[in-house]
Amino acid sequence: MPEYQRALVWFRRDLRDHDHAALYHALECARQVFCAFVFDRDILDALARPADRRIEFIHASVTALQQALQAKGGGLIVKYGIARNEIVRLAAGIRADAVFYNHDDDPAARVRDAAVESALNARDIAVHHSKDAVIFEREEVLTASGTPYSVFTPYKNAWLKTLTPHDLQAYPVDACVDRLAARSTDIPALQDMGFAPTGLKLPTGMAGGAQLLDDFMDRIDRYQAARDFPALKGPSYLSVHLRFGTVSIRQLAAAAWQRGGRGAQTWLSELIWRDFYHQVLWHRPDVAAGHAFKQQYDTLPWPNPPGHFEAWCEARTGYPLVDAAMRQLNQTGYMHNRLRMVAASFLTKDLLVDWRLGERYFADKLIDFDLAANSGGWQWAASVGCDAQPWFRIFNPVTQSEKFDAQGRFIRRYLPELARAPDKFIHAPWKMSAAEQQGTGCVIGRDYPAPIVDHAVQREQALALFKSAVSWSGAG
């Protein structure tokens, strides 16, 4: 790599000062390295509401990143504007010879980055971009015929065969921190950008990610057994930190790889799923625009019965596990992974609502929203994506509830109106007699909704919908 006098590192979804590919490469080959982050109005202006947990998380994490870089003798220039303009203007202003940043495979980000690279090259400023957010990306894990995988298990097997210790090594950023430029700017307040505090109750920044990782490593051996039960402390809760890069994917994968055992292996498999969905997005960017991976289902005639989507969004379906999951999402910006599958299956297979509506709702509400994983997960649940849940397997919301929240602990946490319902009725409270409903203080239809649909009836309708698609498309 050439040597430069000055370089600019553009931070995006990688808000940490360690094990950072672009920062390391810049420090390695430039005598002076400036760091920048842009609150991008192309993204922020499209957000629907001022109280957005993601922006508060990013703001706190950018503040922590600036402080960490300053502690190393450097700084962080923070701008609020159109990123594709601000970065070019800043690079020219500091007379940078090169700009370094890490890959972002979201289609809109690819368009933005191409525009930035073109504008920088027109000013004789070099551009270097690096893999950082995943272990393997793009064309690194392909089939023997050189095509991308569309089924997870063969991809996982190839991923594991490809992996070497080198792939998990951290970038030694601290070896060259004396080259950091001590230039910072004030960070605009949330209110100055049109946003409001949300009372975020989540550890933020690099310290928050490290805290959650330490906590998870103490219980990772139980992960495989506990991860499907929403009332238990089973997940890592690191998804938002992975999304914004306040932890390193190499650190997480290395921790799982080195730990071994069923829990760590199961968690590593979840990290591989993340790589898989990012690879799918790279090769099929159309899936981010609402197109089904399985193209024969792209025009599936979803009935979209009036009121069903709204009832799902507002936790008024009458199915307690689904409603509790939606209240968790609406109140916290997080939803347990098992419940994401249950809620998505219920919307598409029970309520017969187009999966794209649910995907957009999650995109708006989830603090850990990741385009690749959200699109992949929704298409999986709706049986229209790669390696999808077969369309003839349909989650029963009551049996899912009985299996994964047997005592109704999670349901009672988010549906206090059902707090006094006996365990045998907590999953289907409409089965209580009128006297039992009066005794528990929860009359169905008054204090808690009656079921919006009959699962058995809807299951048959969903099967008929997909059978018709198979017959007229010639799909097998």
**Sign of torsion over alpha carbons 237, 13, 53, 43:** negative
pLDDT in tens, 365-401: 999 999 999 999 999 999 999 876 788 889 999 999 9
Of residues 19 and 390, more confidence is placed in 19
Write out the DSSP string of 173-206. Answer: GGGGGGGB-----PPPPTGGGT-------S--HH
CA distance 203 to 216: 14
CA separation for the pair 216, 437 (Å, rounded): 40
- What's the mean per-residue pLDDT of the chain? 95
CATH of domain 4-132: 3.40.50.620
Q: How much is the pLDDT for 95?
A: 98
pLDDT of the residue at 471: 61
Cβ neighbourhood burial of 61 (10 Å; 0-12, 13-18, 19+): buried
Q: What is the pLDDT of residue 365?
A: 96
Nearest to 167 by CA among 143, 132, 139, 142: 132
Q: DSSP string covering 276-335, please? A: HHHHHHHH-GGGGGT--SSGGGTT------TTHHHHHHTT-SS-HHHHHHHHHHHHHS--
CA distances to 108, 210, 269 from 261, rounded to whole Å, are: 39, 22, 12
Q: Which CATH superfamily is domain 295-470 in?
A: DNA Cyclobutane Dipyrimidine Photolyase, subunit A, domain 3 (1.10.579.10)
Listed in order, the ranges of the chain carrying CATH 1.25.40.80 are 134-172+206-283
Distance CA 113, CA 97 (A): 17
The tens digit of pLDDT for each residue in 84-122 reads 999 999 999 999 999 999 999 999 999 999 999 999 999
Which residues are tagged catalytic?
270, 273, 302, 337, 355, 378
CATH 1.10.579.10 range(s) for the chain read 295-470
Question: For residue 475, is pLDDT > 60?
Answer: no
Looking at the chain, the whole-number percentage of residues with pLDDT higher than 90 is: 93
CATH classification code of 134-172+206-283: 1.25.40.80
Name the pTM for this structure. Answer: 0.95
Closest by alpha carbon to 108, among 13, 233, 240, 236? 13
pLDDT band for position 472 (cuts 50, 70, 90): low
- pLDDT tens sequence across 166-225: 999 999 999 999 999 999 999 999 999 999 999 898 999 999 999 999 999 999 999 999
